[in-house]
Chains A and B, each alone.
Chain A
Amino acid sequence: MNNPGDTYDVLVIGGGPAGLAAALSAQQSGLRVAIVDDNPGLGGQIWRGDQHKPGTPEAAQWLRRVATAQVKFISGAYVYEQPEPGLLLAETFEGRRELGYQKLILATGARERFLPFPGWTLPGVAGAGGLQALVKSGLPMAGKKIVVAGTGPLLLAVAAYLQKQSANVLLIAEQASQLLSFGLSLWRWPSKIFQAIQLKRELAGIRHLTNCWVESAHGDNRLQRITLRHGQKTWDVACDYLACGFHLVPNVEVAVFFGCELQEGVVQVDELQATTVPGIYCAGEATGIGGLELSLVEGQIAGFAATNQVQQARALFAERDKLQQFANLLNRTFALRDELKRLPQPDTIVCRCEDVSFARAEKYPEWRAAKLHTRCGMGPCQGRICGPALEFLLHWQPESVRPPVFPVKVGNLIRDAGSLIEQEQ
């Protein structure tokens, strides 16, 4: 039986900035609100670990607010199934949990886009945000030689963070070329100028190249050096870690699972952040990559809207519009260049879970055929890594999402089947 203590008026999936903001706004209505998140702590990726040691005053303020509010936090729990409307199943390290809800707010955030190049599967090659997350979880960096590469504003933040952790950041290699015009457009968002100036100070002394990318990584069982390209020039750099990510892709799998419609690859929402499924709202990066501030505003709107505080929600529309324009500029600036499509060699792995090479994958015109013949995208990550890569490389469009949304222990599935049989009897 479902424990009545685990039933909430509003359940927020995801405890990053959008989820925190949504929960706090919803909680002002006096209703029962909970956040469920697969990470051990609140804050999502951008504020990972900030519960204990806040990285910024803003993070500290939001995390303090949520800690003192009547918001329940269910950590380390992956939502994987909805056996009936209003009831979710989540898996934790200790076992399985049932979570009841009236309204749902999806704040599932984003992940990094990874693009395959020779050697990208070597230990020591991680995402840019990926390496930062590992360091925030305790990985020591003192004296380590690191190259930060790929694309997006995250590269700068990660380089600054790693430098602060006493890493030896050798180079930031940004594949985009339009950073100057991006900088010149910032005057429209004064808070972003402040952040940019602060970041520039923190990055002083780190070499930064645009139009530059990693062609390959090399090493025996572990990364030893990388080959970089800048125009016609290529050269090798010895390093301990390569932190390499290509901007972000929204985590839409949970929304798709609930039947929410997508629009151009992101969750479709109306002005109140309501999805196409009644009672389900979505906020933050899953509705389009827009950064921290937009996520906070969207989260607040969703939290207010889900609890009939529509006036409060409407008061934030203008701010959201302005931040949305910044997001559009950001996504234009860091568009991927075509040269990156030519990096994978025939034997380069594209699907890391099933070790499917680029040569094997590219024989097929779309996902279904590739899955049937190669198991590409059918491993534990369920195409979360190779999917965005193959969309870029071969224009394969994502397929439907079926339960379980995340791989689940067979024991928990058996328990689910058992309780279904009980219900039918």
Chain B
Amino acid sequence: MPDTVMLTINGHPVIVPDGSSVATAVAISGAMAFRRSVHGEPRAPLCGMGICFECRVTINGQSHTRSCQIVCQNGMDVQTDE
């Protein structure tokens, strides 16, 4: 059993293997969207490498953070656009 970390996504606890990106945790959490586009469409990661900005979420209060480039830490608080 690999080490795990626990964080909250939209208030719900999610447990992921240590080293997972926040994007992975959001995908596992079943959140409807990472972000809503300017017209309100749900969006999710496209490039997976920090270029497209489709995976933006709020991490510990920092909005517009690219979740694919941040590694999950215990106790992180992540908010997506519902």
Contacts and interface: CB of A to CB of B under 8 A. Distances in A.
Interface of A: 38-40, 45, 48-49, 52, 76, 78, 93, 111-112, 114, 121-127, 129-134, 137-140, 221-222, 251, 349, 352-355, 379-381, 384-385, 407, 409
B71 A384 contact: no
4 tightest A-B contacts by CB?
A: A138-B20, A133-B48, A123-B44, A137-B21
A255 to B, nearest CB: 16
A253 to B, nearest CB: 10
Interface in B25-82: 25, 27-28, 32-34, 37-39, 41-54, 56, 59, 62, 64-65, 68-71
B49 to A, nearest CB: 5
A380 B16 CA distance: 28
A40 B73 CA distance: 13
A59 B45 CA distance: 26
A423 B17 CA distance: 47
Given A52-B19, A138-B17, A138-B24, A380 B44 contact: no
Given A45-B49, A129-B49, A349-B37, 5 more contacts: A76-B69, A76-B70, A137-B20, A137-B23, A381-B51
Contacts of A385: 46-47, 51-52
A111 B48 CA distance: 10
Contacts of B16: 138
Nearest to A52: B19
B48 A129 contact: yes
14 contacts: A39-B50, A76-B69, A112-B47, A121-B37, A124-B44, A127-B46, A130-B45, A130-B47, A133-B49, A221-B32, A349-B41, A352-B46, A353-B38, A385-B51
Interface residues of B, number: 39
Contacts, number: 120
Given A40-B69, A40-B70, A139 B49 contact: no
Contact of B51 (A52, A93, A111, A124): A111
B77 to A, nearest CB: 14
A221 B49 CA distance: 23
A137 B52 contact: no
Contact of A130 (B48, B53, B56): B48
A112 to B, nearest CB: 6
A134 B45 contact: yes
B23 A134 contact: yes
Among B20, B25, B51, max chain A CB count under 10 A is at B51
Contacts of B50: 38-39, 78
Nearest to B55: A134
A111 B44 contact: no
Contact of A134 (B27, B38, B51, B53): B27
Nearest to A127: B47
Contact of B49 (A111, A352, A354): A111
A31 to B, nearest CB: 29
Contacts of A126: 44-48
Contacts of B53: 353, 379-381, 407
Contacts of B17: 138
